[in-house]
Amino acid sequence: MAPSAEKSTNGTNGVQTKDRSNLIPFSSRLREGRALAQDVWSIFNAANLPSDCINLGQGYMNFAPPEWVKSAAEEALNAVATNHYSHPKGRIRLREAIKAHYEPEFGRTLDVESEILVTSGANEGQYSVFVAFLEQGDEVIMFEPFFDQYLPSVTFNGGVPVYVPLHPPSHGKHNSREWSIDFDELRRAVTPRTKMIIVNTPHNPVGKVFTRDELEKIAAIAEEHNLLVMSDEVYDSLVFDDNEHVRIATLPGMWDRTVTVGSAGKMFAATGWRVGWLIGPPSIIQPTLAATTRIVFCSNSPLQEASAVGLEQAKKRGFLKQQCAEYAERRQILTDAFDKMGMNYTNPQGSYFVLLDISNVKWPEDYPFPASVLGRGRDFRACWFIAMEIGVSSIPVSEFYCEEHTSIGESYARFAFCKDVDTLKAAAERLQKLKKFLV
């Protein structure tokens, strides 16, 4: 904990001065949830890597939102009302667009007043659900590897994360569906303090699209123990091949206990816009509205308007289908490169990440690693080595596991393919140089 009082120190001229650098003690909640630990994003940040390193680490696009969505944003900035506060529930135009887009997906009518809530990105929406529902000590089950933001969002609100790992197949090139859930393990993780379970499909970083059967089993556990289900479906428009995206909220009885999370950032290549949404029954949306109103009051107005135009026009323009096909092509560039190198990887069914098995990458014993990656999983060193020597950055997957389960993630590096084709082709070419470091 930071010192709470001023310390006397000796100034350069020998005069006693007060150290005022840590005058006000910060909250201990920052310690939990790894909020103070150096996070993986700052270690593998462009600023620390060679200037020409190709960034396949962070999951944001290096291309702009579609022109017609951008011009809707411009139009909104040029109007008056759209530059001011929106209703905390979200702009009605966006809520109507969400309703029209998702009603067929959920197979039910959605009430724009009580069942849809616009939030400042999926992140803030999820945070608001935790604020609204967690009591001190309530346990929240999350599958590992997990989207790293869940952890602090849970602990800041008094919750206790409980981890259930997804298990990769033992070896070889495989499909993301083969990362499996041990349902006995999941059942054992449930205690009388369990309040919530987070499901993320399509999954970051595995790319797994949970099957109907898996979701039915999770639903049965949620029903038996009266759990709230947070279904993070921000990659729902990126499901490849003939995989079926099943929404757990649509399974029998599940609507009443499920909140589904969406993101305009992922849908329209606009991650910095910070527009997301929650869909669920009034019993979940109303308390969450109360929380989000006191956190941000309302979300970014002009970009809500542009997101509404995005959703209104996406289907008739064939945009989402086309975008998904483009992502499938981007995925292929990476997986072809890994095949050519003879390396194993997880072929993702959805989202925009490929996990490369880096367990056979070997670097010189005396390789000069910085302190930030020493003492972390082996994957931290592998990703550092690949970034420095090959010129392509990726993210070590053990970051998305609790300490106890680090060894499961240590064999993988996450490569994001939300980048343009030329960038991916250049990365694919560079990655071939890794062959000489394989054992």
Ligand X SMILES: Cc1ncc(COP(=O)(O)O)c(C=O)c1O
Q: Residue numbers of the site for ligand X (CB under 6 A)? A: 59, 121-123, 147, 200, 204, 232, 234, 263, 265, 271, 276
Phi, psi of 28 (to 5 degrees): -70, -15
Q: Under a CB-based contact definition with an 8 Å cutoff, are residues 203 and 351 in contact?
A: yes
- DSSP assignment string, 143-164: EES--TTHHHHHHTTT-EEEEE
Nearest distance from C-beta of residue 354 to ligand X, angstroms: 15
Residue number with CB closer to ligand X (88 or 350): 350
CA 67 to chain centre: 25
List Cβ neighbours of 280 (8 Å cut-off, separation of 6 or more). 115, 249, 255, 258, 259, 260
Helix axes 301-314, 67-78, angle to 10 degrees: 140
Nearest distance from C-beta of residue 266 to ligand X, angstroms: 6
Nearest distance from C-beta of residue 120 to ligand X, angstroms: 8
Residue number with CB closer to ligand X (141 or 390): 141
Residue number with CB closer to ligand X (49 or 275): 275
Q: Distance of CA 210 to CAs 146, 171, 327, 370, 382, Å?
A: 14, 21, 19, 38, 29
Residue number with CB closer to ligand X (338 or 400): 400
Nearest distance from C-beta of residue 6 to ligand X, angstroms: 39
Nearest distance from C-beta of residue 205 to ligand X, angstroms: 8
Nearest distance from C-beta of residue 264 to ligand X, angstroms: 7
Nearest distance from C-beta of residue 1 to ligand X, angstroms: 30
CA 404/CA 383 separation, integer angstroms? 21
Residue 423 structure tokens: 């960038």
* Residue closest to 272 by CA, chosen among 45, 57, 56, 63: 63
Residue number with CB closer to ligand X (88 or 205): 205
Nearest distance from C-beta of residue 435 to ligand X, angstroms: 30
Beta strands in 201-251 (DSSP E): 228-232
Q: Which residue is nearest to ligand X (CB)?
A: 121
CA 175/CA 168 separation, integer angstroms? 10
Residue number with CB closer to ligand X (210 or 385): 210
Residue number with CB closer to ligand X (144 or 232): 232
List Cβ neighbours of 37 (8 Å cut-off, separation of 6 or more). none
Residue 428 structure tokens: 């694919």
Nearest distance from C-beta of residue 409 to ligand X, angstroms: 16
- DSSP secondary-structure letter at 429? H
Please state, as a whole number, how many other Cβ atoms lie within 10 Å of the Cβ of residue 279. Answer: 27
CA 19/CA 195 separation, integer angstroms? 44
Residue number with CB closer to ligand X (127 or 385): 127
CA 364/CA 436 separation, integer angstroms? 12
Residue number with CB closer to ligand X (352 or 385): 352
- DSSP assignment string, 254-269: -GGGEEEEEEHHHHTT
Residue number with CB closer to ligand X (120 or 155): 120
Nearest distance from C-beta of residue 125 to ligand X, angstroms: 8
